[in-house]
Structure 1
Amino acid sequence: MTRKQRRLTIIGCSLAVLGIAAALVLNALRGSIVFFSTPSMVAQQHIAPGTRFRLGGLVQPGSLVRGKNLAVKFEVADGTAKLPVTYKGILPDLFREGQGVVAEGSIDSSGVFRADTVLAKHDEKYMPKEVADELKKTGHWKTDYSDYGGKSGGAVASEANAQAGQGATR
């Protein structure tokens, strides 16, 4: 085997190994790429107890119950399904009933989502694009975008972030 053939063989084998490794990593991450799951998606996917994921939706009005030692119970809904959530800790200042929320944690064997992190939306007009799209599909979320020139909250946030990166203030 000549020197050139040996070099091409090594390069070809290296590319094949790299391709296989990339395929395995992407296959392993396929279920984790979604930023969050809605209660409807959780019901459809039959997520096993103990599996960590993010849950997103609206805090169901009238479902917030505060307990002792910063324990909180509430329901997250997406219009077609709802999921009970428990959390122990300080809630974000913007956390309210009827507002968007993303919680990180896992489902226990009784079907209750046990959150260890709760994130709330950043202002009264903003809704994460994925949550808004999911609620629009079900017809349960409507808003007037006239303040934003007809753009969704996610598009407005993206524009603001892009302008902030260019030194503009908003």
Structure 2
Amino acid sequence: MQSRRQKRLFSILLVIGLIAGAIGAMLFALSQNINLFYTPGQLVQGLGEGKIKPDVGQRLRLGGMVVPGSVKRDATSLKVSFDLTDDSGEIATVEFEGILPDLFREGQGIVAQGSLKSATVLAATEVLAKHDEEYMPPEVAEAMKGIRHVPPSQLKQSERSSANYGG
């Protein structure tokens, strides 16, 4: 017959083992769904100190600027391909089938999500276009005509105190 201490120790070790197994299973399942972000330069040269390059077939996100003159559309379908570049000068190609966002245009920053088809070609399932940080909805722009807006960080101390107290 086992003593009470041995039963407690066995049950505690069993619970710890089950928790470790559950965490391991979750991490294994999540590793298939993690999307790493790369720029074209990182895609070609590698990411981090170890210069780790993604494997063909790996899901990832690729961000950069659309190279002017590189957009090629298929006349009979929604297939489109275009090149992306970043400040490193490296170029990666994105192939996408679907409707591109309204803000998509050459010279614009985009993020494409999909799987790597070859070392520098991404088969995208989704394309997101970045908007300019100066963007303002037309209604707001119309309402603000004639109003000069200065961010508080650019006001002098005397202007801040009068702006705060209306004096």
Match of 2:16 in 1: 15
Between the aligned residues of both structures, percent identity stands at 40
Q: How large is the Cα RMSD of the aligned pairs?
A: 3.2
Say which structure is richer in helix: 1
Deviation readout 1:110-132 (Å, 9 max, x if unpaired)? 742221211122x3218xxxxxx
Matching residue's letter, 1:42: L
Larger radius of gyration: 2
Distance 2:153 2:3 in 1: 66
Say which structure is richer in strand: 2
* Count of residues in correspondence between the two structures: 130
Match of 2:39 in 1: 38
Counterpart pick for 1:84 among 85, 93, 118:
93
TM-score by length of 1: 0.60
Matching residue's letter, 2:103: L
Matching residue's letter, 1:38: T
Match of 1:58 in 2: 65
Q: Note if 1:125 corresponds to 2:133.
A: yes
Q: Note if 1:98 corresponds to 2:107.
A: yes
Shift in alpha-carbon separation, 1:25–1:112, aligned structure 2, 3 A: same
Deviating 4+ runs (over 4 angstroms): 27-35, 146-150
TM-score by length of 2: 0.61
Shift in alpha-carbon separation, 1:148–1:34, aligned structure 2, 3 A: farther
Deviation readout 1:76-126 (Å, 9 max, x if unpaired)? 1221122011112100111122222111222324742221211122x3218
Consecutive unaligned residues in structure 1, runs of 5 or more: 127-145, 151-170
